[in-house]
Structure 1
């Protein structure tokens, strides 16, 4: 009975999240098609990039929606409440398909493309050109003091360190539990579960000594932080790819050409800079995206 109640509660929560998704301040969920963000800065930028690219190259009106997780966004796409969003291959492969053990980016992409087409009637389009993987981050001063470059090297110091990680990273299959086992990471006390918006501040204020972030976060170079290399290749590849409903591509064939112009057009350094402009300089996302498209000859 308890298991049934938990299943019912999770199902209801997911359905409610999809039904009550929060629209952005752009055109909301109205439009010929709707693109979505998973609810953090980089996703907001990529969602706007996708929307502007479509609007500039077709006569379609694009609505924008903002969700809070990969699972909710995926379910909304399958349910037809949205038409496209940018996902990361490793997140889809592990989090949605529950697959593991594949490290080759090309193999992950091809398996994802085939399975999404067969199982969900979704098309995984070509990568945008960058990978946004989980990043284990420490202060630059600590990296220099202990001459640390890799997670394996850092493992000998973690018993004296405090960890601070986001809730999703603590819980997900490709997150902290497996990472800790792979590298034998043991901290002075159980890692703090922290809001991602506060995690960099906590590291700088020395409340914690290691955090999880994303490799394209704009704060990393600006705040003199160091990403420890995943030298045992624990994390799967996380290439950014547009995922679109096949029915939408069939209804609006002009979409394919518009979106394909983004193939391999963004480097990790460029994505990091875009994130910094929005988070560090508080620039308007629409303007940042338009300027980027213009620099690439897309506007």
Structure 2
């Protein structure tokens, strides 16, 4: 009987301690939900944030592949705690404000307005700019001496444009370019699926296409040349984490952990990381892990 009572007491004590342990873990405030949009670059950067937070002692729940059209809503509805965003997206798409081309002014504007309107903080922005651009076949660039959009405008009538449709209409697309550089009177313009544009260029079916400035294929400079926006028409899309104020106030260490990552990211670095996934077909988690080890 004595052994039985000791066993019961021991079991009760074990269960009690286990319950306390679970309670402490679940109420510690150390669980952070990191969301990402549904494309390579955002997945890589979100994984970098996650690795940094885990190193800082947080338990991270990864919530990947959220559509760009709903990820902001997911944040303010407390479905995620933070995610990588772009300053230009915040300014034009979320806040629907007028175009600004100075990176610091864009950041200062979105930081102030997000705090007022959404109770969300923008942490430090990186030098990585995933903005709009135009890519030209390198052989055509060399033949016609085209390295800037000013050069391109002069030769537009000799060039075939591979459009994605949307870029022809968007406020921050071709229309804003033509206001500053003049009419782009293409030799021809056909709409292609965005995912095919580099194949279209490579196969000599077109000469110029819209691009984002950190696309992995741009590492292949023998075939593709990103044109310089020499009059700085397009707005910057600098990468930066956005986080709910409540989460940051409860966990101020998050800012230091993630800002250290952002400080290492520039356009060339992000482009190279994207290339490892989109060109070399590596897994984004492994690419992020390898890069994170290199900056620790």
Query: Contact 2:219–2:272 (CA<8 Å) still a contact in 1?
Result: no
How far the C-alpha of 1:219 sits from its partner, in A, is 1.0
Query: Contact 1:170–1:193 (CA<8 Å) still a contact in 2?
Result: no
Per the alignment, residue 199 of structure 1 pairs with: 197
Per the alignment, residue 139 of structure 2 pairs with: 141
CA gap of 1:180–1:106, structure 2 versus 1, over 3 A, is: same
**TM alignment of 1:68-107, pairs within 5 A:** 68-69=67-68, 71-107=69-105
Looking at structure 2, the residues matched to 262 and 282 of structure 1 have their Cα atoms a distance apart, in angstroms, of 23
How far the C-alpha of 1:138 sits from its partner, in A, is 0.3
Query: Contact 1:95–1:172 (CA<8 Å) still a contact in 2?
Result: no
How far the C-alpha of 1:171 sits from its partner, in A, is 4.3
Per the alignment, residue 34 of structure 1 pairs with: 33
The Cα offsets for residues 246-265 of structure 1, whole Å up to 9 and x where unpaired, read as 12212333322322222411
Query: Contact 1:127–1:242 (CA<8 Å) still a contact in 2?
Result: yes
Q: Does 1:153 align with 2:151?
A: yes
Query: Contact 2:202–2:223 (CA<8 Å) still a contact in 1?
Result: no
Report SS of the residue matched to 2:136: strand
Q: Does 1:247 align with 2:250?
A: no
Report SS of the residue matched to 1:157: helix
CA gap of 1:33–1:168, structure 2 versus 1, over 3 A, is: farther
CA gap of 1:264–1:290, structure 2 versus 1, over 3 A, is: same
Per the alignment, residue 293 of structure 2 pairs with: 294
How far the C-alpha of 1:90 sits from its partner, in A, is 1.5
Which blocks of at least 5 consecutive residues in structure 1 are unaligned?
1-30
Per the alignment, residue 125 of structure 2 pairs with: 127
Looking at structure 1, the residues matched to 83 and 142 of structure 2 have their Cα atoms a distance apart, in angstroms, of 39
Per the alignment, residue 230 of structure 1 pairs with: 229
Looking at structure 2, the residues matched to 167 and 87 of structure 1 have their Cα atoms a distance apart, in angstroms, of 24
Report SS of the residue matched to 1:172: coil
Which blocks of at least 5 consecutive residues in structure 2 are unaligned?
1-29
CA gap of 1:95–1:192, structure 2 versus 1, over 3 A, is: farther
Report SS of the residue matched to 1:212: strand
Looking at structure 2, the residues matched to 143 and 103 of structure 1 have their Cα atoms a distance apart, in angstroms, of 26
How far the C-alpha of 1:226 sits from its partner, in A, is 0.8
179, 182, 186: which one aligns with 2:180: 182
Name the TM-score, length of structure 2 as normaliser: 0.83
Looking at structure 2, the residues matched to 238 and 58 of structure 1 have their Cα atoms a distance apart, in angstroms, of 30
Looking at structure 1, the residues matched to 243 and 114 of structure 2 have their Cα atoms a distance apart, in angstroms, of 10
CA gap of 1:167–1:63, structure 2 versus 1, over 3 A, is: farther
Query: Contact 1:126–1:241 (CA<8 Å) still a contact in 2?
Result: yes
Query: Which of the pair has more CA radius of gyration?
Result: 2
Looking at structure 2, the residues matched to 142 and 94 of structure 1 have their Cα atoms a distance apart, in angstroms, of 33
Looking at structure 1, the residues matched to 76 and 171 of structure 2 have their Cα atoms a distance apart, in angstroms, of 22
Query: Contact 1:55–1:62 (CA<8 Å) still a contact in 2?
Result: no
Higher helix share: 2
How far the C-alpha of 1:136 sits from its partner, in A, is 0.4
Per the alignment, residue 25 of structure 1 pairs with: none
Report SS of the residue matched to 1:278: helix
The Cα offsets for residues 168-216 of structure 1, whole Å up to 9 and x where unpaired, read as 5344321222223332112234x43333221111111122221111212
Looking at structure 1, the residues matched to 36 and 192 of structure 2 have their Cα atoms a distance apart, in angstroms, of 22
Per the alignment, residue 9 of structure 2 pairs with: none
How far the C-alpha of 1:289 sits from its partner, in A, is 0.8
